[in-house]
């Protein structure tokens, strides 16, 4: 229903839709917390490297492996110092930049490529419709970590190459989902009606089919964002991901490993940052699954009224 | 059954072949092993001898031809690093991984299926909360971080178990514990979902109506039917473990096949990488056959 309204008067209905989403979010307090946390992380990722880069790379040998919760060295040292006395809090904030950038790049790239291929595979009745799904099967049959190691060893592990490797391994997810949805939707009455009325293929795909599958894709993308973050962290942890002096959370965990017995906080905090972010994304994705599904949405709408 | 097996073998064989070709050429693009194994000041003659010895002088395509010809005679080549047959090295490591995978999956399956069934029986109850909690943690926590925290707490802090290595039963506890979490949460969710729909089905209502005990209703009537999707997920997770739990094996110094594969790539020990891929692929193929047989055993309507 909202679809048709926004189509008719896009300008005035836009805030209304936004407020509806906020209300649905408010109905689920856990999801609200998760959303706020994700927003904070994104804020850190964008602003952190600009504001704190100087602080985060300045070594201070007097603060080597300084213990956490000690405010005498200033607020930034609240989580302790790393092996060169750099404040961990500042480093975690700066590292969020690379972590989020890699995950965003990989998710956006795989979603665009995967869903376009899925749209083509699902909509075209010709040979393309049969060849493209095989492509997904081939990618899926490769052990992804092994492939990532080989490619990164071959191409030198830069941010761009890591995004490329992660994106390729995630393409099948979007491809398969999109294809399955398109196969079902293209048989529906409104698509047939559009065809009869002479709409072009492009118009049918982008105006009629795309809005129907976008919610599913967004839900998967949120979930996948968490997965890609974990994959990037694992690669960085193994030493074939992002290379120093660049930092990501996974790399910070790896760098703290030699000091595990004497200074646990070096590895603990960045790992906690990974967990909290992926946890929030998972919770947010659970909420989206309900909120974006018209047959499930009433659960949140009822809850919303009850809460105020 | 015969034709089913043949069909499966052919399709798995084709994708394995593609994988071998891809890995063969890609891995050789990572560089020349000579630079890695000989000292920087090695004479040109020594380098030449090394290349000649390991057949690195021929054009890539000729090397591939030799490799395939050897493979047909079941010769998987030599490990440059260890100067032993590659297959021997791989099988040694695979035995470790296999044991780890089997033990972990046995514990995970038993725990996840029983707890998942109970969670589905009392939606919103204590078991249900445990189920949700574990699946969220499993999906969110990086395994290397869990492994590190587990070492700090249980090995260093309490001193209950060794930090890494192999030797005693105690060495197995932390790796299994860390590997347990993700598949446990995942399988638990699937069992729960599948059980909830099975419990709402007509045949369970019939069983209840005719006075079958609740225990028998859950474990005999509902669970057996709910097991099909569960077995698929168990198979996927077991396949992932058979491929080698790289991170866990690295952190706990466990001499498994995942660690061997990564190390061999980094050491440009190409024949070991390829042999490892083939051994794990064979294991996963055999396991998938077992899974299909389990389907047929659980659901008499399935015939091959």
Residues of A whose CB is below 8 A from B277: 143, 146
The reported pLDDT for the residue numbered B117 is: 82
Q: What is the pLDDT of residues A199-238, one digit of tens each?
A: 888 888 888 888 888 888 888 888 888 888 888 888 888 8
- Dihedral sign for Cα atoms in the order B46, B50, B51, B52: positive
Q: Are A241 and A259 in contact (CB under 8 A)?
A: no
Say if the Cβ atoms of A238 and B246 lie within 8 Å: yes
Q: Assess whether pLDDT exceeds 80 at residue B131.
A: no
Which of B21, B27, B131, B139 would best serve as a mutation to test chain A binding (most A beta carbons within 10 A)? Answer: B139
| Long-range interactions of A46-51: CB distance < 8 A, separation 24+ | A46/A97, A48/A93, A48/A94, A48/A96, A48/A97, A49/A94, A49/A97
What is the DSSP track for B220-278?
IIIHHHHHHHHHHHHHHHHHHHHT--HHHHHHTT---HHHHHHHHHHTT-HHHHHHHHH
Question: What 3-state class would DSSP assign to B141?
Answer: coil
The reported pLDDT for the residue numbered A8 is: 45
Distance CA A271, CA B153 (A): 15
What is the DSSP track for chain A?
-HHHHHHH-HHHHHHHHHHHHHHHHHHSHHHHHHHHHHHHHHHHHHHHHHHHHHHHH---GGGTTPPSS-GGG-GGGGG-B-TTS-BHHHHHHHHHHHHHHHHHHHHHHHHHHHHHHHHHHHH--SSHHHHHHHHHHHHHHS-HHHHHHHHHHHH---HHHHHHHHHHHHHHHHHHHHHHHHHHHTTSHHHHHHHHTT--HHHIIIIIIHHHHHHHHHHHHHHHHHHHHHHHHHHHHHTSSSPTTS--HHHHHHHHGGGTTT-THHHHHHHHHHHHHHHHHHHHHHHHHHHT-TTTTHHHHHHHHHH-
Distance CA B197, CA A105 (A): 38
Looking at domain B87-298, which of 1.10.238.10, 2.40.110.10, 1.10.3720.10, 3.40.1280.10 is its CATH number? 1.10.3720.10
Hey, where are the domains in chain A?
A: 20-301
Q: Are A299 and A290 in contact (CB under 8 A)?
A: yes
Residues of B whose CB is below 8 A from A238: 246-247, 250, 262
Q: Are A226 and A249 in contact (CB under 8 A)?
A: no
Rounded average pLDDT over B260-275? 85
Q: Is the preceding peptide bond at A245 cis, omega within 30 degrees of 0?
A: yes
Question: What 3-state class would DSSP assign to B78?
Answer: strand
The reported pLDDT for the residue numbered A183 is: 85
The reported pLDDT for the residue numbered A15 is: 55
Judged on CB neighbours under 10 Å (0-12, 13-18, 19+), A238 is buried
Distance CA A20, CA B168 (A): 59
Rounded average pLDDT over B28-48? 77
B244: left (phi over 0), alpha (psi -120 to 50) or beta: left
Model confidence at A304, in pLDDT bands (50, 70, 90)?
very low
Q: Assess whether pLDDT exceeds 50 at residue A256.
A: yes
Q: Are B280 and B91 in contact (CB under 8 A)?
A: no
Comparing CB atoms, the residue among B30, B140, B142 nearest residue A150 is: B30
Q: pTM for the full model?
A: 0.79
Model confidence at A12, in pLDDT bands (50, 70, 90)?
very low
The reported pLDDT for the residue numbered A107 is: 93
Distance CA A234, CA A228 (A): 10
Q: How far apart, in Å, are the Cα atoms of B1 and each of A57, B7, B15, B260, B282?
A: 64, 10, 21, 36, 19
Residue B276, C-beta contacts closer than 8 angstroms, at least 6 positions apart: B90, B93, B94, B244, B257, B260, B261, B264
Locate A150 and state its tokens: 């080989």
Model confidence at A108, in pLDDT bands (50, 70, 90)?
very high
Comparing CB atoms, the residue among A226, A260, A264 nearest residue B140 is: A226
Residues of B whose CB is below 8 A from A161: none
Rounded average pLDDT over B209-230? 83
In A, minimum Cα distance to B142 occurs at A230
Comparing CB atoms, the residue among A150, A234, A271 nearest residue B265 is: A150
Model confidence at A4, in pLDDT bands (50, 70, 90)?
very low
Distance CA B203, CA B209 (A): 10
Comparing CB atoms, the residue among B148, B250, B261 nearest residue A146 is: B261
- In the DSSP assignment, the letter for residue B30 is T
**Any A CB within 8 A of B243 CB:** yes
Statement: A20-301 belongs to CATH 2.40.50.100: no
Sequence length of chain A is 308
Model confidence at A71, in pLDDT bands (50, 70, 90)?
low
The percent of residues in chain B predicted with pLDDT above 70, rounded, is 98
Distance CA A162, CA A176 (A): 23
Say if the Cβ atoms of B136 and A145 lie within 8 Å: no
Residue intervals in chain B for CATH 1.10.3720.10: 87-298
Q: Which range, of A104-118, A162-176, B217-231, averages the lowest pLDDT?
A: B217-231
Q: Are A200 and A169 in contact (CB under 8 A)?
A: no
Residue A73, C-beta contacts closer than 8 angstroms, at least 6 positions apart: A63, A66, A81, A87
Q: Assess whether pLDDT exceeds 80 at residue A305.
A: no
Say if the Cβ atoms of B277 and A279 lie within 8 Å: no
Nearest to A229 by CA among A151, A155, A162, A157: A162
Which of A146, A229, A276 would best serve as a mutation to test chain B binding (most B beta carbons within 10 A)? Answer: A146
Q: What is the pLDDT of residues B132-174, one digit of tens each?
A: 777 888 778 888 888 888 888 888 778 787 777 777 778 888 8
Rounded average pLDDT over A130-146? 75
The reported pLDDT for the residue numbered A303 is: 57
Q: Are A190 and A208 in contact (CB under 8 A)?
A: yes
Nearest to B273 by CA among A152, A146, A166: A146
The ipTM of this complex is 0.74
Residues of A whose CB is below 8 A from B143: 234
Distance CA A222, CA A111 (A): 11
Residues of A near B (Cβ–Cβ under 8 Å) read 137-138, 141-143, 145-146, 149-151, 153-154, 226, 230, 233-234, 237-238, 250, 253-254, 257, 260-261, 264, 267-268, 271, 274-275, 278-279, 282-283
Q: Assess whether pLDDT exceeds 50 at residue B53.
A: yes
Distance CA B92, CA B97 (A): 9
**Any A CB within 8 A of B152 CB:** yes
Q: Are B172 and B144 in contact (CB under 8 A)?
A: no
Minimal C-alpha gap between A69 and chain B (Å):
19
Q: Which range, of A54-63, B4-13, B163-172, averages the lowest pLDDT?
A: A54-63
Say if the Cβ atoms of A145 and B266 lie within 8 Å: no
The reported pLDDT for the residue numbered B259 is: 87
Which of B148, B258, B261 would best serve as a mutation to test chain A binding (most A beta carbons within 10 A)? Answer: B148
């Amino acid at each position: 229903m909202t679809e048709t309204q926004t189509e008719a008067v896009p300008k005035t209905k836009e805030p209304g839709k936004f407020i509806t989403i906020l209300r649905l979010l408010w109905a689920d307090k856990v999801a609200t917390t998760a959303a706020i946390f994700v927003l904070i992380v994104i804020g850190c990722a964008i602003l952190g490297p600009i504001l704190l880069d100087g602080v985060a790379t300045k070594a201070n040998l007097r603060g080597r492996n300084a213990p956490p919760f000690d405010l005498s060295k200033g607020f930034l040292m609240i989580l302790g110092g790393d092996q060169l006395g750099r404040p961990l809090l500042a480093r975690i904030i700066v590292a969020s930049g690379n972590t989020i950038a890699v995950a965003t790049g990989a998710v956006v790239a795989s979603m665009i490529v995967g869903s376009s291929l899925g749209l083509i595979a699902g909509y075209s009745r010709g040979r393309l419709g049969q060849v493209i799904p095989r492509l997904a099967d081939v990618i899926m049959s490769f052990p992804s970590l092994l492939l990532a190691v080989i490619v990164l060893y071959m191409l030198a592990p830069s941010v761009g190459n890591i995004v490329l490797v992660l994106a390729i391994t995630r393409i099948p997810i979007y491809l398969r989902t999109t294809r399955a949805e398109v196969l079902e939707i293209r048989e529906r009455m409104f698509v047939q009606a559009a065809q009869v009325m002479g709409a072009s293929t492009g118009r049918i795909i982008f105006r009629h089919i795309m809005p129907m599958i976008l919610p599913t894709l967004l839900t998967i993308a949120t979930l996948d964002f968490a997965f890609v973050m974990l994959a990037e962290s694992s690669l960085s942890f193994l030493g074939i991901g992002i290379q120093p002096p660049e930092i990501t959370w996974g790399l910070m965990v790896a760098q703290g490993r030699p000091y595990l017995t004497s200074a646990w906080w070096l590895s603990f905090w960045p790992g906690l940052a990974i967990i909290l972010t992926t946890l929030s994304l998972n919770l947010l994705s659970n909420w989206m699954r309900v909120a974006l599904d018209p047959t499930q949405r009433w659960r949140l709408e009822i809850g919303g009224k009850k809460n105020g | 059954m015969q034709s089913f097996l043949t069909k499966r073998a052919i399709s798995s064989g084709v994708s394995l072949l593609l994988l071998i070709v891809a890995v063969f050429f890609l891995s050789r693009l990572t560089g020349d092993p000579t630079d890695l194994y000989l000292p920087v000041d090695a004479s040109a003659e020594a380098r030449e001898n090394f290349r000649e010895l390991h057949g690195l002088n021929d054009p890539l395509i000729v090397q591939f031809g030799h490799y395939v010809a050897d493979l047909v005679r079941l010769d998987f080549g030599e490990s440059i690093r260890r100067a032993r047959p590659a297959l021997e090295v791989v099988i040694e490591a695979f035995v470790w991984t296999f044991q780890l995978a089997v033990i972990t999956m046995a514990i995970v399956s038993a725990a996840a299926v029983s707890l998942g069934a109970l969670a589905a029986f009392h939606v919103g109850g204590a078991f249900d909360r445990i189920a949700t909690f574990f699946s969220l943690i499993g999906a969110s926590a990086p395994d290397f971080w869990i492994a590190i925290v587990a070492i700090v707490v249980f090995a260093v802090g309490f001193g209950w178990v060794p930090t890494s290595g192999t030797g005693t039963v105690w060495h197995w506890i932390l790796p299994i514990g860390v590997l347990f979490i993700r598949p446990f949460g995942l399988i638990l969710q699937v069992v729960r979902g599948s059980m909830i729909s099975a419990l709402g089905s007509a045949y369970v209502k019939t069983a209840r109506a005719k006075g079958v005990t609740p225990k028998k209703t859950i474990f005999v009537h509902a669970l057996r039917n709910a097991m099909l999707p569960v077995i698929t997920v168990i198979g996927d997770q077991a396949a992932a473990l058979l491929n080698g739990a790289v991170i866990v094996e690295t952190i706990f110094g466990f001499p498994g096949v995942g660690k061997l594969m990564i190390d061999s790539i980094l050491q440009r020990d190409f024949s070991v990488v390829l042999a490892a891929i083939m051994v794990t692929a064979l294991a996963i193929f055999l396991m998938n056959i077992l899974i299909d047989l389990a389907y047929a055993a659980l659901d008499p309507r399935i015939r091959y």
